Amino acid sequence: MITLDSIRKPVAAELEAYAAFVERQFTAEGELLSEMLTHALTARGKGIRPLLVLLSAALNAPVKGASTGRRACLAAMLVEMIHVASLIHDDVIDEADTRRGRPSVNAIWQSHRAVLLGDYVLSRNLAIGLQSGQFDLVTHICGAMATLCEGEVLQAECVGKREMTRRSYLDIIYKKTACLLGVSASAGALAVGATRDKVALMRRFGEAVGMAFQIQDDLLDFRPDARTGKPAGNDLREGKITLPLLAVLERSDETRRTELLAALGRCRDDEASVEYLREAVEREGGVAFAAEVMRGYVSRAVEMLAEYEPSDCRKALADLCAYIAERDC
């Protein structure tokens, strides 16, 4: 079985340098802010974004095996902190009580403080980036922040109207997830001075990985045995129509569609409706369909790696693709 630990191996030293860099740079003034920041930074996620930056930097480094250095560390921090801030804000928007199996920042300190913490993380991130003088990296990475917001607004609009099309779904997951993963992979290449073509290739690679990652995330919401640190069925409770349900809606006649959407409308307060939809989506092929679409993105990502000579880093990136398709957490 592929594990994240084995994928991390080729850049183990770089990951350590990155962790030390974040610890040095990300400190806060005042007791409350420090406590909140520590809570947000110690809920260890998978660290997919920094891993993607560092593997891409190592893959594209002009001298094979050379340390990828400070620019790659900075890029890894910039993408990860945008992600951290976006999740803090996301839990406020979704009124979520848990994140990664622990109470969310808003659940402990209320929404107004959580919003401020997210703003603080973003502000510190930008300040550190600008002070470093690496303006190409800051420009490349920070452009994704607006895209993330666009994705969230689009998603909220669709939840409000209880309406979704395939086009809107793909647009939302590109904006809320795939864009930042594309930026992560391409920033790694940019950090080590790769050619424009290789930076663009890495961007497409990261975007395909990101599309697969979000579809798998949406699939895990339909699996009660998943270990995501969030209760299964959360998307349904939040009124979100993701690909598994969308696929079933697309195949249903008008009467069935009305029935399914009415059940979705009840999910916020009625667990029986959550269970009913979860089973219906599984039984009517929505889960299998979404899994097939997800695997399509994974295959495309892996094919792109053929542009590189075989190496530990290329293998680790291919393994990362496989891990994303198999993961249950």
Please identify which residue in 94, 152, 221, 235 interacts with Mg ion, judged by CB under 5 A.
94
C-alpha–C-alpha distance, residues 191 and 139, integer Å = 12
Got the DSSP string for 186-227? HHHHHHTT--HHHHHHHHHHHHHHHHHHHHHHHHHTT-TT--
Q: Residue 12: which residues within 8 A CB-CB, separation 6 or more?
A: none
Q: What is the DSSP letter of 98?
A: E
From 17-25, 67-75, 94-102, 156-164, span contacting Mg ion (CB under 5 A):
94-102
Residues within the interface to ligand FPP (CB under 6 A): 82, 85-86, 89-90, 93-94, 96, 118, 122, 145, 148-149, 152, 176-177, 230, 234
Q: Is 218 in the site for Mg ion (CB under 5 A)?
A: no
Residue 86 binds what, of Mg ion, ligand FPP, none (CB under 5 to 8 Å, by partner type)?
A: ligand FPP
CA distances from 298 to 12, 18, 210, 266 (A): 24, 27, 9, 34
Nearest-5° Cα angle at 43, 38 to 46 = 135
For Mg ion, which stretch binds (CB under 5 A), given 1-9, 82-90, 286-294, 316-324? 82-90
**For 68-196, where are the E strands, in sequence order?**
98-99, 102-103
Which lies closer to ligand FPP via its Cβ, residue 235 or residue 319?
Answer: 235
- The CB-of-79 to ligand FPP minimum distance in angstroms stands at 11
For residue 278, give both structure tokens: 């979860």
Residue 277: closest CA among 268, 267, 288: 267
Closest approach of Cβ 47 to Mg ion, in Å?
Answer: 19
Output the residue with the shortest Cβ distance to Mg ion.
Answer: 94
The listed partner (ligand FPP, Mg ion, none) that binds 177, CB under 5 to 8 Å by sort, is: ligand FPP
Contact between 217 and Mg ion by CB under 5 A: the answer reads no
Does 90 sit near Mg ion (CB under 5 A)? yes
Task: Please report how close the Cβ of residue 307 comes to ligand FPP at its closest, in angstroms.
Answer: 28
